[in-house]
Amino acid sequence: MQSFRQRLQQGEVLLSTLVSLPSPEIVELLSKLNFDWLFIDAEHGAFGTLEMQRMLQACKDHIPCLIRVASNDVVAIKHALDIGATGIIVPQINNADEAQVAVRAAKYPSNGNRGVGLARAHEYGLSFGEYLSRADQDTCVVIQAETPGAIDDIENIVRIAEVDAILVGPYDLSANLGYTGEIDHPEVVTAISKVETACKQANVKLGYFGVNAAAVLPYKEKGFTLLTIGVDSLFVLNGAQSLLKEMK
């Protein structure tokens, strides 16, 4: 059976949605649908390590989960992987040196400097040797391109061997370029195009987030394959607003 990382590297279109609320029940519900993976947002969500672990346990490993860590921090990355995440998404990367820090934190020696310990990912020791034998080849590292520095240094970032995908964060990117929320501003579009070109030249996969299908489909047509559509909180709000509108 292919790992999620193998599916990503082979260019399969992989659909997810973003989980922003620390609710195991939400993850459990979403895991019963036909998403290819779930995006657990520990950057903006009110998640501690235990809450994230409970969410991974709720889906019973039926679906791969990538955790967006709060920052490019060695301990945060170690915790996310030790509780059983399939991979990490690292925000606010500014250059290739910072991307290399993230990669090394996600890989065991001698490929990196990930700490070795017993946790849920290793079945608390029961499958320790087996896990270590495949962890580096199965763990996904996704770097976000959402800062001017990342855009300027994107050609060097995509040359890092263990960077599996670049995820464009259009909202933070627009804000960091001085056009908050204007994701169709020409400078934002130009920045995204630069990322697209660099990734395709280096055969690094492209990811994109949008709040609805209309926002994401154009990027799917451009060859972006690691796609996140919608947010759990918006599903609740939109559904409730639609119901109220019908009733009133």
Q: Considering 44, 79, 122, 185, which one is annotated as catalytic?
A: 44
Mark 136-146 as b/e (b = at least 16 C-beta within 10 Å): beebbbbbbbb
| Residue among 207, 210, 169, 213 nearest 191 (CA) | 169
What gap in Å lies between CA 170 and CA 179, rounded to an integer?
11
What gap in Å lies between CA 116 and CA 126, rounded to an integer?
14
44 counts as catalytic: yes
Q: Which amino acid is at 139?
A: T
The CB-side HSE value for 179 (13 A sphere, CA atoms) comes to 15
Residues 6+ apart with CB under 8 A from 185: 174, 177, 179
Contacts by residues 131-139 (CB-CB < 8 Å, ≥ 24 positions apart): 132/108, 134/3, 135/81, 135/107, 135/108, 136/107, 136/108, 136/111, 136/112, 137/3, 137/5, 138/3, 138/4, 138/5, 138/86, 139/5, 139/81, 139/86, 139/87, 139/88, 139/106, 139/107
Which positions are annotated as active-site residues?
A: 44
